[in-house]
Amino acid sequence: MAELTIAILGLDRLGASIAARLRAYVEKGGQHQFELIGYDNREDFEKPARKLKVLDKVERKLYTAVERADLVIMNLPYEDLRAGYELIASSLRDGAVLLDTAVIKQPSLEWSAQYLGPEQHWIGFTPVVNSAYMFEHELSPDRASEDYLHDSVIYLTPSAQCMREAIDLAVNFSIILGGKPAFLDPAEHDSLTAITEEIPQLLSIAAYSTAMNHNAWGDAQRLTNPPFNILTRYLLTHHPDALRDEWLANRERLARGIDELVRTLSDVRDRLAEGDEAAIEAFLIAASDDYQEWINRRHKGEWEEHAARGVQFDNSIASSLFGGAISKRLFGGKDGRE
């Protein structure tokens, strides 16, 4: 049986849900034991996370949260991420594995190379939430659930230098969380999230900026029902500094996405100006039909094989949480296995 100390840095809905899942795993008789240490300097997140009672301890200093950790979930807000790497570097144990949940991975990969030592192992970690929660945008730990990642993909983006044992750990940890691990290259990952994460962010803020600069905004701001409120929510959930840094760090990929978006919007604008009913109808039907197919695949988790490299398990990896050198250090034994 493995005993593992896990530090969760950032106690939003994702961080708290990971803790809830691990606590439930232990309470339901899972073969491994976890000591869960949390950290968050945001009072609106730290206090609700404490009340969930899924963490063994909540530290008030970042570096003390990771001192004994074998596995670190780096889930800090993007504006705090680089400073977070710098602060924890000297406190991390040799052999520690760090899973980074940032929306884009290449900056984190560079920071890990800059601040972490050769015996500290970085892997990008992007969970896709359970389809039951795919329309929920609340980030508070109050909304945490142990099945938040159940039966959905968890993308792993290891560095080229990452040890096989660290990757094995991330794979099996993903399985314990209820996910289906798959691999992406960090650059490919960031190209995809430019479309699925950053374009929605940009649309949200551009929509609000357009409205607030409209000469009728003084009256229109009273007429703000769910369509407007939901679209512009990123201004409520994301700090401007975080969005600025994230967009600039991924600027080339985001710019390509914006070019595609501008072409689509320009074409729709032209068809509207021409009163081209057939073209507008075709635009809407094509999007609607594809959306129905996508939403069904998303709920069922049925994806094409080329979408990402899935994980193939042999018996030695599938039956054990750890393998190799990291396992030996943590748990002893001739080969580190049970």
How is 165-216 classified by DSSP, letter by letter? HHHHHHHHHHHHTT-EEEE--HHHHHHHHIIIIIHHHHHHHHHHHHHHTSTT
CA–CA separation, 144 and 11 (whole Å)? 10
pLDDT in tens, 2-16: 789 999 999 999 999
pLDDT band at 22 (very low <50, low <70, confident <90, very high): very high
172 or 301, greater pLDDT:
172
Which of 70-84, 298-312, 323-337 has the highest average model confidence (pLDDT)? 70-84
**What pLDDT score was predicted for residue 302?**
79
| β-pair partners for 57 | 37
CA 104 → CA 42, 108, 197, 202, 250, distances in Å?
22, 8, 9, 15, 7
- Please state which of the ranges 69-78, 156-165, 263-272 shows the lowest mean pLDDT: 156-165
Q: Quick: pLDDT tens for 204-233.
A: 999 999 999 999 999 999 999 999 999 999
Q: What whole-number distance in Å separates Cα of residue 33 and Cα of residue 26? A: 6
- 228-241 pLDDT, tens digit per residue, is 999 999 999 999 99
Question: Which domains, ranges and CATH numbers included, belong to the chain?
Answer: 3-184+308-331 (3.40.50.720), 189-275 (1.10.3660.10)
Strands (E), the chain: 3-9, 33-39, 57-59, 71-74, 97-100, 121-127, 153-158, 180-183, 309-310
Q: Residue 116: its pLDDT value, please?
A: 94
Separation CA 47–CA 59 (nearest Å): 12
Crossing angle, helix 199-212 and helix 251-274, to 10 degrees?
A: 50
Question: What pLDDT is attached to residue 337?
Answer: 33
- pLDDT for res 301: 84
Does 332 score more than 50 pLDDT? no
- pLDDT confidence band for 330 (50 / 70 / 90): very low
Residue 316 pLDDT class (50, 70, 90 cuts): very low
Classify residue 222 by burial, with Cβ atoms within 10 Å: 0-12, 13-18, 19+.
exposed
Per-residue pLDDT tens over the stretch 59-110: 999 999 999 999 999 999 999 999 999 999 999 999 999 999 999 999 999 9
297: pLDDT strictly greater than 70: yes
pLDDT for 306 = 47
Is pLDDT at 21 greater than 50 in this prediction?
Answer: yes
State the greatest distance between any 2 C-alpha atoms of the chain, in Å, as a whole number.
75
Find, among 336, 330, 297, the residue nearest to 316 by Cα.
336
Q: What value does the CA radius of gyration of the chain take, rounded to a whole number of Å?
A: 22
Task: Evaluate if residue 335 carries a pLDDT over 60.
Answer: no
Instruction: Over range 123-134, report the average pLDDT.
Output: 96
Residues 183-200 have a mean pLDDT of: 96
Distance between CA atoms of 175 and 181, rounded to whole angstroms?
A: 7
Q: How many CB atoms lie within 10 A of CB 234?
A: 17
> What rounded mean pLDDT belongs to the chain?
90
State in Å, rounded, how far the first CA of the chain is from the last one.
6
Q: 3-class secondary structure for 136-173?
A: CCCCCHHHCCCCCCCCCEEEEEECCCCCHHHHHHHHHH
Report the alpha-carbon distance of residue 141 to residue 213 in Å, rounded. 34
Spatial CA neighbour of 66 closest among 85, 45, 43: 85
Which residue would you say has higher pLDDT here, 263 or 323? 263
Q: What's the whole-number mean pLDDT along residues 296-312?
A: 70
Query: 3-class DSSP state for residue 5?
Result: strand
